[in-house]
Amino acid sequence: MTATSPRRSSRRFNAGTLWRGLAGVAGLVALLEIVSRSGIIGTTYLPPFDAVLWRALQLWVDPEFLANVGQTMLTYLLGMLIAAVIAIPLGIVFGLVNPVYRAARALIELIRPIPPVALIPLVLLALGNGLNMKLVIVVFAAVWPIMFNTLYGVHDVDPYQKEMGRSFGLGRFAIIRRIVIPAASPFIMTGVRIASSIALIVVITVELISPGGAKGIGAYIAAQQLSYQDSAITYLAVLAATITSGVLGLVVNLVIGWAERRWFAWDTTAKDGV
Amino acid sequence: MTAPSTRALASRALRASAQQPRWRRALVSTAYFVVPLVVVIGLWQLGTMLNKNPFFPQPFAIIANLWKLLFGSEKAVQDVFVGEFLMTVGRMALGFAIGAAWGVVIGTLIGLNRNAREVVSPIVEFLRSIPATATLPLFIILLGGGDDMRVVFIAYGVSWFVLINTAAGVGSIHKTMLDVGKAFRVSPARRLFAIILPAALPKIFAGLRIASTAALLLAIVSEFMLALNGIGFSLVVAQSKFNLLTMWSWMLALAILGLIVNSLLEFIERRVLAWHRLSRQKV
């Protein structure tokens, strides 16, 4: 049992793991609290930890902050959706028709290494500061992992299964729909998981760099950085907002990881198909 | 074993292609690489010549402009190449090196001890969920707007990928391998360098590859804010001057830079991990 599914057994929580994890968190919190209270580092740079936590909690009832979270999540979700709609069909075509992939490869290899954030100044000029601009950059960032993982998934489909479909009289598209896509879906999900964390980073980066028009958590953090005279308060506000963005990232990661295990746990190769 | 007809056909085709002379196969793969590029660039060139659009400059103009930017300025020869391009490369390389070293060391410590792993994993999981770029304002407040801040910021963002992969690689080593080391009374230091790290190397390299892409991204982002030079800074300056041609040129430079970094890492990986692939093949 454990030999065949080491991953899954390690995923299962046991009480010891949980307690040790909690002990680690509690230890860190205590350490931060003691160090920050003692004033070794200076309260400007390390504000009392309970103040940071309190500030971070207060953010969740601040309507202005929540509106920014909503904007970030909207951009993230729309971007992921558009990226999936572009990348999955492309990946399937590239995976099934090798000459097309070989022909497209030179271009892909040249476009892919461009950091998505480098597009910001150009797209900002072309589309102005708003949702469209953010979406273009997020989609550019999220397309690659989904496309390549779809491609690997399609390559990984058992040829005998396609053979069988053909002998049962399935047409080309029926084979894609009934055999190729289901078999490749764990890989596609892996691509979505990788793309998701990249997309969130890119959304927040875009908001951070082009504040003013665009709203979102990144813009909120940037505004906090500029809005106070007192450096201690500024620092506290920025720290709290940054930690809160981590909570958001954690929630997104957990949801996607949960969905992957819930719906695609039947496939053991999915976890290694990065 | 009755192989289906397509299998037989495929294997025959494979053999046929293997029998093809080498130069011919090389020619085909070069053609696959060159022809689409030439076609797309040609179409783009043609389209932009017929229908002028300020947002899409002509590709040849982009290439020529990049060359001029990097090597052809009359006032100071190679000033831009050293002052902008190499500055970004330097920050990226230094940040990557520090972050990778830190990630490998901490990742190994975490990976070796199961209890330690369970204690710190929620903390690590949370810290790495903070989008690295969102921490840039924090780094600016803490360390100011100088180059040391940029390098630390890149190192911080890069280290998570390496740390998590190293911890996973070290943590998943088969217990038998460690026991063999103990049984032969190999010293702990040698066990670390001769058994544990080599076994974790494939995973570490997977982390390094992701980290190198991240390093370039973080370097650019860090140069968007409060920088005085670098590719990211040049992009912002070009944006403020509405100089779209220069922005496209810098993007091309970034694509080439990314390509070089990728191939370099792939080359090192193939060298260092050659034994790994061989051992896999034999099994």
- Shared domain for B169 and B239, answered yes or no, is yes
The residue-averaged pLDDT of B101-115 equals 90
Higher pLDDT, B154 or B36: B154
Higher pLDDT, A163 or A5: A163
On whether residue B185 sits in a domain, the answer given is yes
CA distance A210 to B216: 19
CA distance A210 to A202: 12
- Shared domain for B143 and B227, answered yes or no, is yes
Return the pLDDT at A74: 92
Sort out which chain A residues have CB atoms less than 8 A from B121's CB and list them.
21, 24
Q: Is the pLDDT of residue B82 over 80?
A: no
Q: Which residues of B79-97 are buried (b: 16+ CB within 10 A; e: fewer)?
A: ebbeebbbbbbebbbbbbe
- Shared domain for B110 and B20, answered yes or no, is no
Higher pLDDT, A267 or A209: A209
Return the pLDDT at A265: 66
Measured between CB atoms, does B33 come within 8 Å of chain A? Answer: yes
Q: Which domain holds residue B205?
A: 68-282
Return the pLDDT at B8: 54
Q: Is the pLDDT of residue B52 over 50?
A: yes
Taking the CA atoms of residue B52, residue B55, residue B56 and residue B59 in that order, the dihedral angle to the nearest 10 degrees is 110
On whether residue B59 sits in a domain, the answer given is no
On whether residue B57 sits in a domain, the answer given is no
Q: Which pLDDT band holds residue A272 (cuts at 50, 70, 90)?
A: very low
CA distance A182 to chain B (A): 23
- Shared domain for B76 and B145, answered yes or no, is yes
- Shared domain for B165 and B89, answered yes or no, is yes
- Shared domain for B37 and B153, answered yes or no, is no
- Shared domain for B45 and B72, answered yes or no, is no
- Shared domain for B158 and B79, answered yes or no, is yes
On whether residue B58 sits in a domain, the answer given is no
- Shared domain for B46 and B110, answered yes or no, is no
CA distance A176 to chain B (A): 18
CA distance A23 to A26: 5
Q: Which pLDDT band holds residue A157 (cuts at 50, 70, 90)?
A: confident
Q: Is the pLDDT of residue B188 over 70?
A: yes
Measured between CB atoms, does B253 come within 8 Å of chain A? Answer: no
Number of folded domains that form chain B: 2
Return the pLDDT at B13: 54
Question: Is residue B185 left, alpha or beta, with left meaning phi > 0 and alpha meaning psi from -120 to 50?
Answer: left
Return the pLDDT at B1: 40
Residue A238 is nearest to which of B33, B118, B141, comparing CB atoms? B141
